[in-house]
Amino acid sequence: MDLELTEDQLDLQRRAREFVDTDVLPHYRSWPVTVAEYSPELVATLKERQKDLGLTNLIVPKEYGGQGLGAMEDALVLAEFSRSPRRIPGTIFAPWPVMYDAADPIKEKYLYPVLEGKTGWSMCFTEPGAGSDLAGIKTTAVRKGDHWVINGRKMWRTGHQGASYTAVAAVTDASKGARGISIFLVDNDTPGFEKARDIPVLSRTWGIEEEVALDNVVVPAENLLGEEGGGFQIAQHQFNRFRLRLGGLALGMSERSQQLAVDYARSREVFGGKLGDNQAIQWMLTDNHYDIESIRWNTYYAAWMVDRGGYSAARVQASMVKAYCIDAGLRVVDRSMQVLGGRGLAIEDYPFGDFYAQLRMCKQMEGSTEIMKIVMARDILGKKF
Ligand SMILES: Cc1cc2nc3c(=O)[nH]c(=O)nc-3n(C[C@H](O)[C@H](O)[C@H](O)COP(=O)(O)OP(=O)(O)OC[C@H]3O[C@@H](n4cnc5c(N)ncnc54)[C@H](O)[C@@H]3O)c2cc1C
């Protein structure tokens, strides 16, 4: 395994850093907190700059106009972008791989507009009665001629404000458990597909989460994504990608927190010396360093595995990235806040509060820490030592 980044990867990382240092960090305080509330002009400017710097559609295959890059490049750019406490439009919601295999009319309607940055999509998997246990969902989809009729209730839809459609998981064959779940692409303006309520959470950065009702929602038969009964597998595959990407997120937030803590420790005068002269502070910075390097190498290793063998091959490692890196990132942000004393809590001046809230939410999203540990434990117990 080669531990050095290639020249191209270093160049990509440098361009992403330049973008964040020049176009984001000096300006983000004047932006709305929630990405969906950014003005169209701001979104267009940010996307244009990313395009100029070659930072768009990184992991989109070349035949679809993307750069065809791998999980490593994706992680490097996400880490740079995550040094900003505000979200940068266009980075998080890459299309699902299964969309590239869809029929042409589906690609026209749902894939290309996302690739062109004209719209986004959201997901409705979780329900009031089933979250970690996706196989326990109760929303049903019943085939009637050339369409499906979906009924049920969903929780936690995120990012709907910037999206024109939602991937909805529903039971198509209750006798088959996890193999009886399918995913449908549902236009957000379909009659019967309604927001039931907002669910304000710790951080509003990604949008307002929502509970959603589906009341006789009619969806054309061709909007079934992948195979009937293949929804659980599609979801698992997609979650592996999300989980790995959260490693990049934790890395960027941790590195920025450490940078601010080190700057403060070097410059702050206390008791006739520098704050950083005190061992208690040095140890916090050292502990941060352990955590940051562990986040980095866990994430890079998982990305390396994906780039060699695909997302399924890195399933357990992606779970480890998700469980470990989010917790380690929370520790780094918390320690850095402490190094800065009262200033660490000033949410307009410093990003720690935003980082903390986002990382804390990530502990629950895309498979909670406990569920990730279950995936790892099954692998550990099944291994020969
Ligand atoms: C901010 C945010 C955004 C989200 N966005 C979306 C979205 O866009 N679309 C979507 O579909 N969902 C979304 N979710 C839902 C998220 O995926 C679920 O919250 C998650 O899967 C956990 O489900 P739950 O909340 O129902 O917890 P539960 O399944 O009720 O679990 C409760 C707690 O018990 C733990 N637990 C569960 N089973 C076990 C076990 N066997 N052993 C040990 N511990 C266990 C869990 O880790 C959890 O901490 C979002 C959640 C949040 C908080």
Q: Write the CATH number for 285.
A: 1.20.140.10
* pLDDT of 237: 87
Closest CA to 188 of 161, 225, 154: 161
* pLDDT of 95: 79
Residue 195 DSSP code? E
Q: What is the pLDDT along the chain (385 residues), one digit of tens a residue?
A: 788 999 999 999 999 999 999 999 999 999 999 988 899 999 999 999 999 999 998 999 999 989 999 999 999 999 999 999 999 987 656 778 889 999 999 999 999 998 888 888 899 999 999 999 999 999 999 999 999 999 999 999 987 777 899 999 999 999 999 999 999 999 999 999 999 999 999 998 888 899 999 999 999 999 999 999 999 999 988 888 889 999 999 999 999 999 999 999 999 999 999 999 999 999 999 999 999 999 999 999 999 999 999 888 899 999 999 999 999 999 999 999 999 999 999 999 999 999 999 999 999 998 999 999 999 999 999 987 7
User: CB–CB of 276/340 below 8 Å?
Assistant: no
Pairing mode of beta strands 147-157, 209-220: antiparallel
* pLDDT of 116: 85
Q: Which of 153, 365, 375, 378 to mutate to test the pocket of ligand 1 (most atoms within 8 A of CB)?
A: 365
For residue 125, give the ligand 1 atom closest to its CA: 11
Which protein residue has the closest C-alpha to ligand 1 atom 18?
A: 131
Residue 2 belongs to some domain of the structure: no
Same domain for 50 and 187, yes or no, is: no
Residue 1 belongs to some domain of the structure: no
Taking CA atoms, 30 is separated from 40, 97, 348, in Å, by 15, 35, 10
* pLDDT of 91: 60
| 100 φ, ψ (degrees, to nearest 5) | -70, -20
Same domain for 237 and 377, yes or no, is: yes
User: CB–CB of 362/249 below 8 Å?
Assistant: yes
- Domain extent for 81: 7-115
* Tally of residues, the chain: 385
For residue 154, give the ligand 1 atom closest to its CA: 11
Distance CA 53, CA 142 (A): 47
- What CATH number corresponds to the domain at position 29? 1.10.540.10
Query: How remote is the CA of residue 314 from the centroid of ligand 1, in Å?
Result: 22
| 375 φ, ψ (degrees, to nearest 5) | -60, -45
In sequence order, the β-bridge partners of residue 83 are: none
Structural domain ending residue among the three candidates 80, 115, 150 = 115
Query: How remote is the CA of residue 172 from the centroid of ligand 1, in Å?
Result: 22
Taking CA atoms, 117 is separated from 43, 44, 102, 222, in Å, by 10, 10, 19, 23
| Percentages of the chain per state (helix, strand, coil), in multiples of 5 | 55, 15, 30
Q: Is 274 exposed, middle or buried (0-12, 13-18, 19+ CB in 10 A)?
A: middle
Residue 107 belongs to some domain of the structure: yes
Which protein residue has the closest C-alpha to ligand 1 atom 32?
A: 132
Same domain for 140 and 86, yes or no, is: no
Same domain for 55 and 109, yes or no, is: yes
Residue 372 belongs to some domain of the structure: yes
Dmax over CA atoms of the chain, in Å, equals: 81
Distance CA 306, CA 365 (A): 21
Query: How remote is the CA of residue 153 from the centroid of ligand 1, in Å?
Result: 15
Distance CA 276, CA 305 (A): 38
Q: What tokens appear for 246 in the block?
A: 């959260």
Taking CA atoms, 214 is separated from 37, 90, 183, 194, 316, in Å, by 26, 28, 14, 7, 34
Same domain for 163 and 205, yes or no, is: yes
Rg from Cα positions in the chain:
22
Same domain for 193 and 334, yes or no, is: no
3-state secondary structure of 368: coil
Structural domain ending residue among the three candidates 115, 150, 185 = 115
Same domain for 146 and 243, yes or no, is: no
Same domain for 149 and 201, yes or no, is: yes
Structural domain ending residue among the three candidates 225, 255, 289 = 225
Query: How remote is the CA of residue 84 from the centroid of ligand 1, in Å?
Result: 26
* pLDDT of 208: 84
Total domains, the chain: 3
- What CATH number corresponds to the domain at position 165? 2.40.110.10
* pLDDT of 206: 84
Beta strands, E only, the chain: 120-124, 140-144, 147-157, 163-171, 181-187, 193-199, 209-220, 224-225, 269-270, 273-274
Same domain for 110 and 124, yes or no, is: no
Same domain for 254 and 288, yes or no, is: yes
User: CB–CB of 204/37 below 8 Å?
Assistant: no
Same domain for 109 and 168, yes or no, is: no
Residue 331 DSSP code? H
Query: How remote is the CA of residue 365 from the centroid of ligand 1, in Å?
Result: 6
Same domain for 252 and 371, yes or no, is: yes
For residue 132, give the ligand 1 atom closest to its CA: 29
Rounded to two decimals, the pTM is: 0.95
The dihedral of CA 269, 272, 278, 280: what is its sign? negative
For ligand 1, residues with CB inside 6 Å are 122-126, 131-132, 156-158, 201, 209, 361, 364-365, 368, 370-371, 374
